[in-house]
Structure 1
Amino acid sequence: MARWLRRKKAKSGRLREADRADLAHLEEFARSRRGVEGFVEPKTAVTETTLVLVAVDGEWTRRRVPGPRYAHDFANRLGIPSYDAAVVGYPQRMREWNARRAQEQRLADRRRLEDR
């Protein structure tokens, strides 16, 4: 049987934990953008605790963190406010940024189809 037709082995069931690359990405994002706020997402059945950073223009990023306390301490160390996402939700500017990106993608797709 061809290698690409074989079924992949099942994962061990363990969730991937935060690593240095995750934390470095969050720090770089926070330091390189204005008005950043942190939104701590609780651990679920399929993901570890995550930290969503949202800049003043709505641009955002999400990465795993070691836990909720770590996420709040991380934000405090960088001088940015942090909130529990399950309590306060996400800022409107994040939804607006997502809508702008989706519209840009639709326009790019339409142009690509027209150029064929």
Structure 2
Amino acid sequence: MGWFSRRRRPKDMPALGRSDGPLMDIDRKAVEAHLRAFVEGHRGVEAYVEPATSVTTTTIVLIAWDGEWTRRAVGERKDAFALAQRLGVPVYDVNHTGYPNRMRQWNSRKRRGDA
């Protein structure tokens, strides 16, 4: 038996789809419900759209006034901007604006146990 012969799947077995990365299946309703709950539970929320990479699909980061944040995969860039509009929050392209300092400060407080 050769090294790679064990890695072949039988012809009658269907190929499995990716569960992560840019081609991942996204439960869009669950994503929107999570983000909506974050917006409703926090003040001064802004959205930042992160570009897709070779490992992840396009993501949206919601950051509250105090720096607390949440991130979810959204699929495509246009989907992220449309979602932010539906949520009623300002939206920015992170490549142009970067992340606000309050996010880094919140992360630091969280690591120290102050948040």
Gaps of 5+ in 1: 1-10, 106-116
Of 33, 49, 59 in structure 2, the residue corresponding to residue 24 of structure 1 is 33
More helix as a share of residues: 1
Amino acid at match of 1:75: A
Equivalent-residue separation in structure 1 for 2:75 and 2:83 (angstroms):
10
**CA shift digits 1:10-57 (9 cap, x unpaired):** x86562232132221111111211100000001100000000000001
Say whether the 8 Å CA contact 1:53–1:62 is kept in structure 2: yes
Q: Which residue of 2 aligns with 1:88?
A: 97
Q: Which residue of 2 aligns with 1:99?
A: 108
Amino acid at match of 2:31: D
Amino acid at match of 1:53: L
Say whether the 8 Å CA contact 1:41–1:49 is kept in structure 2: yes
Q: Tell me the number of residue pairs that the alignment of Structure 1 and Structure 2 aligns.
A: 95
**CA shift digits 1:42-82 (9 cap, x unpaired):** 11000000000000010000000021111111111222100
Say whether the 8 Å CA contact 2:32–2:83 is kept in structure 1: no
Q: Percent identity?
A: 48
CA root-mean-square deviation: 1.8
Equivalent-residue separation in structure 1 for 2:39 and 2:25 (angstroms):
21
User: Relative to 1, partners in 2 of residues 1:34 and 1:55: Cα closer, same or farther, differing over 3 Å?
Assistant: same
Q: Which residue of 1 aligns with 2:42?
A: 33
Q: Runs in 1 of length 4+ with deviation above 6 angstroms?
A: none
Equivalent-residue separation in structure 2 for 1:43 and 1:17 (angstroms):
14
Normalising by structure 1, we get a TM-score of 0.74
Q: Which residue of 1 aligns with 2:7?
A: none
Gaps of 5+ in 2: 1-15
